[in-house]
Amino acid sequence: MDVTTDSGVPWLIAGLGNPGPEYAGNRHNVGFMVADLLAERMGGRFKRHGKAQAQVVEGRVGPPGPGSRRVVLAKPMSYMNLSGGPVTALRDFYKVPADRVVAVHDELDIDFGVLRLKLGGGDNGHNGLKSMTKAMGPDYHRVRCGIGRPPGRMQVADFVLKDFSSVERKELDWFVDRAADAVECLVSEGLERAQSAYNS
């Protein structure tokens, strides 16, 4: 399928994270942060979906007119390691092919503030991706938001469930804004264009 044409089939953009206020500022929740910003740009509010354990916003991204794309923004309301169930339920409900599914997630092996976009691949130990791949196979897009590695001997699980540091928070709004731009570019103009503009 040519993802740069609007066939009327929506894109499903899943920001990955953990539900609940205690997790809101965690590194693991950067996908939720990007989804929230995209919803704000679309002028929509997240509402619970009737057929999936997720909150969704339906709308369009991209320039007005024929260049805009129909999207379903989603935040799975399961915990991160169960993301595959809600995302697959939404994919089936909206009849979205795999190449129009996008996971927006934190990535340990990329420095904080760096983005990488790709189609398919492994889960790199990320429990949200592991769950999605188990449920639907690996052939979906990923917008990987770098959070860096834990310092010293800190365990990965502790690191991802901590809030961004005070130094990182100074750059966080810019980073989330850039990641949202990258998602919009991917949906509107295709992977190669988005990679050349945003892979840093």
Task: Say what the alpha-carbon torsion angle 173, 74, 105, 23 is, to the nearest 10 degrees.
Answer: 70
| Catalytic machinery residues | 28
How many whole angstroms separate alpha carbon 185 and alpha carbon 125?
27
Q: Could you tell me which of 15, 172, 7, 151 has the C-alpha nearest to residue 83?
A: 15
Quick one: 3 exposed, middle or buried, by C-beta within 10 A (0-12, 13-18, 19+)?
Answer: buried
Phi, psi torsion values for 52, nearest 5 degrees:
-145, 150
- Cβ–Cβ under 8 Å, residues 145 and 179: yes
Q: What burial class does residue 22 get, using C-beta atoms within 10 Å of its C-beta: 0-12 exposed, 13-18 middle, 19+ buried? A: exposed
d(CA 78, CA 84): 9
